[in-house]
Amino acid sequence: MHRDEIERHEIVQELPALLAAVQQMGQALTNKSHGAEYRLAWEFNELLHMARLKLDEIQLETEAPEDVNSVAGSSVAQELRPRFF
């Protein structure tokens, strides 16, 4: 494996824990918000959810790139559509 590939793989492995921490903080923000602030916090959490789905897609590609021909029709790709617009 090339050095850049090794570093990329390590980054992809570390990101889920970081994103999980941000999602927990985002949920806490939503729980403490009301009115317009709640809506903004909720939208923020939706974006974090979409980021998590994209990260899952990246992890799948990193683990087995030859098995992932197209994710455009996958359930993960369909989940990426915003739900708050």
Every domain of the chain and the residues it spans:
3-79
Dihedral pair phi/psi, residue 15, rounded to 5°: -60, -40
Question: What pLDDT digit, counting tens, does each position of 9-63 carry?
Answer: 999 999 999 999 999 999 999 999 999 999 999 999 999 999 999 999 999 998 7
Distance CA(43)–CA(62), nearest Å, equals 29
Q: Are 22 and 76 in contact (CB under 8 A)?
A: no
Residue 73 has pLDDT above 90, yes or no: no
